Amino acid sequence: MHLVRKLFLSSAAFILLPVLAYAQSLEDSDGKQLVEEYCLSCHNDEDYAGSLDLSLLLADDIAPHQDTWEKVIRKLRAGMMPPPGESRPDESDYLELTQGLENWVDAHSPRYPGSVTLHRLNRTEYANAIRDLLELEIDPTLLLPSDTLARGFDNLAGSLSLSSTQLEAYSTAATKIASMALGYLRSPTEATFIPPGDTSQSQQLEGMPFGTRGGMVVKHTFPADGDYKIIIKNHRVGTFMSGEQLEISIDGERVHLFDYTNLGRGRGEAGEGDLSVTIPVKSGSQAVGVTFIATNYRPSFSTIKQYDRKSLENEMLPGLYNYPEIGFLRIQGPFNPSQPIDSPSIRKVYTCRPGNQEQEVSCARQILSTLAGKAYRRPINEQDMVPLLAFFEEGRSNGSFEEGIELALARVLASPNFLLRVEQEPEALEPGESYSISELELASRLSFFLWSSIPDDELIGLATSNRLREPGVLDQQVKRMLADPRSVSLVNNFATQWFYLRNLDITYPDGIYYPDWDDELRQSFRRELELFFDSIIREDRSIVDLLDADYTFINERLAVHYGIPNIYGAHFRRVALGPELDYRRGLLGKGSFLAVTFTQNFRSSPVKRGVWVLENILGTPPPEPPANVPALEETEGENVISTLRDQMELHRQDPVCASCHRIMDGIGFALEVFDADGKFRPVNGHPRKWSGVAMPVNTSVELWDGNRVDGPVELRNNLVKYSPQFVRFAVEKLMTFGLGRGVEYYDMPVIREIVNASAEEDYRFSSLVLGIVNSAPFQSRVKQNSENDTLANR
């Protein structure tokens, strides 16, 4: 105990007290000496241990302090203890100590599967469920309010309550969707689409035909068969070369071609600024494209020399040629609507047709029971059918059989059984007791995890017959679902939130300093990372490949930006990254990460890049900055500081700032060979802010763990050493997304079990998913008490 007390006097010595006890239990004198020396070297570590009350950790029982031990393990796994500048043991001893602490915590920690509150479908899940239920694509942003983010995701149950306002929005959406799927809107509606201000206008866009340039493509649901008026407004003023032509297409097929000559803007629907045409269109979700025929590629005379800058701002130079630009696309209709006879939704819904009036009720029962069973994600009973048949009778009494089905469908889509994911708690259990969820509830958890949508017939069938948990069945279903195209939701819903891809929509680097930036580049960045993550899933690669894979996906636009030759066309293809492009390997070389971490519109941000790595790779986010810290520019004084790095060195002279910046800044400065728009740059300097003299970028830094690196390649190699921590964090993110609740300290022993088992399969993506699906937190929960205690709702 004297030795323990002595070690305890060091502010970080508590970290390895259990490891010391472990070494003592083995009567390993060398181990005790190693632990003692290491603990005594870990002093003054308050910034990394969170200024904890260390006296609490002398308790015999680990349970009250498990959250503290987990914080310590996380810091150790990320190499952040002891703090920068302190002596450290060699890597093998460090790893042995860390594993010893983990083993001690895992052996003495109680297991708690956690619980979730009522879970409303978010907008993405709702749209996917409508797609799978009705074969109908909808834009949920036009129908439903936005969802709240929590723990980095918008599908956590605690932030998905159902207010009266939201219930009204879902009810209104249900009526509209039922009409779009089966009926028709008798009154015309209007939808207006405005492209981003930096949308491409001079190059072929992805999804557009060869020989075209610019324009826009939108997904629009035509609510009925009928005539629709399509209006296009020009956004530019200038003298256009004769022969310009504008094509309108629906699902890739040309429906009209305009001769586009000398049109002004802002003159109203009757003025020259508008082009309009009325065409017949069938009901359903279809892609509407508007693009220019590429008759010429005359260059811009703009004072800003852009790489094919898509908006080509030449208005300050009257008389010079401008590419015409789409201001907006407006779709009005239907006019002269008619009841649709056939559509994917109609074929999906109408599993029978009554031959006479006497057969209508039985046919309606068959249709509605099938729909409700899929929507409610369980077998349907007579109690479920009573309100649905009542709505059918009401609609039938005022119209046709089809109108009765339409009204009943709206009732299905507005039902809490569809909108809410509810897991029934056994009455016989006491609050706080754990229990296994039902197989139907497990099927629902699984489908919303991997597809962000409702389970299909095969999954429901297995769960209904209580065969989903049979040996090998669940694993087979997981592999089937990962191979299904619907698992793309793990890319466009999970990965886009994990890696902040949604922030690209609000990323606008200053056009003066980054003239190559436009919406096409933005979307190319997004698509590159989406395809990259998708390859991890489809090829069942190691999750560690996200850090150092030697390939990426690019099109011509992105290849030019990256400096990769001999890539042509708007379509993306896989390319190998050889030694000359080693700095583009893995997440750190992706333009999306580099772009979303820019600041102040004109420069890269080493701090934001460092924070991104800490948050998304190491899983150790830094604390929030203290209040009233001056901005970087305000610390310059009267002297001209030559580089950003010099400014940051000045900023770190403040001890309050230094404690965090010494962790973050090294990561960011190692990545300074990348500009704010993700382009590789061998020199530094922006005339507006710095000296204006181009200087080589200094990327030689000392990292948080004491290792020195120079540039992104060596930084990446250093991060790969911490790949076990990255895998743990990836499992945390996947489990958070899959459970619909935040991962807590009591989940960490299970996460370590999943990661350790996956190590035998080289951390393949499927092994991580299978580990999560087969874990106690995924297959069970804790019964909550009547007061919804805090622990159960975390």
- Mean pLDDT confidence for 256-273: 56
Q: Which pLDDT score is estimated for 315?
A: 40
Q: Is residue 264's pLDDT more than 50? A: no
Is residue 295 within 8 Å of 243, Cβ to Cβ? yes
Task: Give the model confidence (pLDDT) of 551-579 as tens digits.
Answer: 999 999 999 999 999 999 889 999 999 99
Is residue 725 within 8 Å of 77, Cβ to Cβ? yes
| % of the chain surpassing 90 pLDDT | 52
Q: Which is more confidently placed, 200 or 320? A: 200
From 680, 312, 677, select the one nearest 507 (Cα to Cα): 677
Task: Give the model confidence (pLDDT) of 205-218 as tens digits.
Answer: 777 787 888 888 89
DSSP code at position 500: T
Could you tell me which residues are beta bridge partners of residue 254? Answer: 249
- Residue 549 CA to residue 532 CA, distance in Å, equals 9
Task: Give the model confidence (pLDDT) of 603-643 as tens digits.
Answer: 788 889 999 999 999 999 887 776 666 555 444 444 444 56
pTM: 0.86
Q: How far is CA 323 from CA 212, 299, 425, 525, 634, in A?
A: 13, 9, 63, 25, 41
Strands 225-234 and 274-281: antiparallel
Q: Which is more confidently placed, 600 or 531? A: 531
Is residue 709 within 8 Å of 715, Cβ to Cβ? yes
Q: Which pLDDT score is estimated for 112?
A: 83
Strands (E), 473-595: 551-554, 573-576
pLDDT band at 776 (very low <50, low <70, confident <90, very high): very high
Task: Give the model confidence (pLDDT) of 354-399 as tens digits.
Answer: 999 999 999 999 999 999 999 999 999 999 999 999 999 999 998 9
Q: Is residue 242's pLDDT more than 80? A: no
- Residue 239 CA to residue 261 CA, distance in Å, equals 8
pLDDT band at 265 (very low <50, low <70, confident <90, very high): very low
Of the given ranges (51-65, 98-112, 362-376, 748-762), which has the lowest mean pLDDT?
51-65
pLDDT band at 656 (very low <50, low <70, confident <90, very high): low
Tell how many helices (H) and how many strands (E) occur in the chain.
30, 20
DSSP string covering 28-89, please?
-HHHHHHHHHHHHT--S-HHHHTS--GGGGG-S-SGGGHHHHHHHHHHHHTT--SPTTS---
Q: Which is more confidently placed, 549 or 793? A: 549
pLDDT band at 723 (very low <50, low <70, confident <90, very high): very high
pLDDT band at 160 (very low <50, low <70, confident <90, very high): confident
Task: Give the model confidence (pLDDT) of 36-90 as tens digits.
Answer: 444 433 333 444 334 444 444 544 566 677 888 898 899 899 998 877 777 778 8
| % of the chain surpassing 70 pLDDT | 77
Q: What is the CA radius of gyration of the chain?
A: 30
As a whole number of Å, the end-to-end CA separation of the chain is 37
pLDDT band at 13 (very low <50, low <70, confident <90, very high): very low
Q: Is residue 298's pLDDT more than 50? A: no
Longest Cα–Cα distance of the chain, Å, equals 93
Q: Which pLDDT score is estimated for 310?
A: 45
Roughly what angle, to the nearest 10 degrees, separates helices 473-483 and 457-464?
A: 170
Q: Is residue 476's pLDDT more than 80? A: yes
Q: Which pLDDT score is estimated for 39?
A: 40
Of the given ranges (248-257, 305-314, 339-348), which has the lowest mean pLDDT?
305-314
Q: Is residue 601's pLDDT more than 60? A: no
Q: Which pLDDT score is estimated for 533?
A: 98
Q: Which pLDDT score is estimated for 221?
A: 87
pLDDT band at 327 (very low <50, low <70, confident <90, very high): confident
Q: Residue 168, Cβ neighbours under 10 Å: how many?
A: 10
Torsion of CA 103, 107, 110, 111, to 10 degrees: 70
Q: Which pLDDT score is estimated for 385?
A: 98
Residue indicated by tokens 């089937």: 480
pLDDT band at 240 (very low <50, low <70, confident <90, very high): very low
Q: Is residue 31's pLDDT more than 50? A: no
- Mean pLDDT confidence for 579-608: 89
pLDDT band at 651 (very low <50, low <70, confident <90, very high): low
- Residue 518 CA to residue 230 CA, distance in Å, equals 26
Q: Is the dihedral of CA 458, 463, 468, 474 positive or negative?
A: positive
Task: Give the model confidence (pLDDT) of 482-513 as tens digits.
Answer: 999 999 999 999 999 999 999 999 888 877 78
Task: Give the model confidence (pLDDT) of 514-560 as tens digits.
Answer: 888 888 899 999 999 999 999 999 999 999 999 999 999 999 999 99
Average pLDDT, the chain: 82
